[in-house]
Chain A
Amino acid sequence: DQQVKQNSPSLSVQEGRISILNCDYTNSMFDYFLWYKKYPAEGPTFLISISSIKDKNEDGRFTVFLNKSAKHLSLHIVPSQPGDSAVYFCAASGNQFYFGTGTSLTVIP
């Protein structure tokens, strides 16, 4: 039972444009959401997070939006850079972390 879903396995974006990665969840009790970035042969690294009491959190080029009524969150990267090419996982926390299956982002120079 996948409680956190990332329905787009891959995304390609031109350098300088906006990348939007989406994530849906099923459990309304989740109270904290995170995005992790993963390069091949490395572990995930924390990118940005948001508490369920907020609807937006911004850190430099990265912004996470949370729509609790739709049980949906998204990560916006603007402007996208080639170094952003990686797999992005969203995660939700309840009594443990639940991860999505990841979206592979390719930023084309």
Chain B
Amino acid sequence: NAGVMQNPRHLVRRRGQEARLRCSPMKGHSHVYWYRQLPEEGLKFMVYLQKENIIDESGMPKERFSAEFPKEGPSILRIQQVVRGDSAAYFCASSQQGTVTYEQYFGPGTRLTVT
């Protein structure tokens, strides 16, 4: 399956712990996007990355959240000192080009639960 892969699919963390979410884009895609879906809400853009570069992080909370897309390996969304309000589904998408006229292909998501 050459689709977008995310792991883990489910992640449970206690308040104050760190959460690391991984995303491997589709083969040939070098653009990665992270979205968050809170209960009863739509997908909210968080960050757009290319290899080794953050292009747009306007949707990222200013504190505790960071993202990277290294030259080798998956993209990582890191949430430090998680709080209950971080509980959500986090989706990663990838595209072949960076212009938004190209469809983004989504992974299955990581459901984060903070207890």
Q: Which residues of A contact B (CB under 8 A)?
A: 2, 4, 6, 31-32, 34, 36, 41-46, 49, 51, 89, 91, 93-102
Q: Does B4 contact A (CB under 8 A)?
A: yes
Which residues of B in the span 29-53 have a Cβ within 8 Å of any Cβ on A? 33, 35, 40-45, 48
Q: What would 13 A/B residue contacts be, using CB atoms closer than 8 Å?
A: A41-B108, A42-B109, A43-B106, A44-B43, A44-B106, A45-B106, A93-B100, A94-B100, A95-B100, A96-B48, A97-B45, A101-B40, A101-B41
Interface size class of B (residues with CB under 8 A): 20 to 34
Bound-complex Cα distance A49 to B100 (A): 12
Q: Which residues of B contact A (CB under 8 A)?
A: 4, 6, 33, 35, 40-45, 48, 56, 58-59, 91, 93, 100-101, 103-109
Question: Is there an interface contact between B100 and A43, defined as CB atoms closer than 8 Å?
Answer: no
Nearest CB in chain B: distance from A91 CB, A: 8
Closest to A44 in B: B106
Known: A43-B4, A44-B91. A97 touches B40 (CB 8 A): no
Question: Is there an interface contact between B103 and A96, defined as CB atoms closer than 8 Å?
Answer: no
Closest to A94 in B: B100
Instruction: Given contacts A41-B108, A44-B91, list 4 more A-B pairs with CB under 8 A.
Output: A46-B105, A97-B33, A99-B35, A99-B43
Bound-complex Cα distance A35 to B29 (A): 21
Bound-complex Cα distance A76 to B113 (A): 36
Known: A93-B100, A99-B44. A43 touches B33 (CB 8 A): no
Cβ contact of A32, chosen from B44, B101, B105, cutoff 8 A? B101
Closest to A41 in B: B108
Question: Is there an interface contact between A96 and B58, defined as CB atoms closer than 8 Å?
Answer: yes
Question: Is there an interface contact between A98 and B41, defined as CB atoms closer than 8 Å?
Answer: no
Bound-complex Cα distance A34 to B106 (A): 14
Question: Is there an interface contact between A34 and B91, defined as CB atoms closer than 8 Å?
Answer: no
Closest to A39 in B: B108
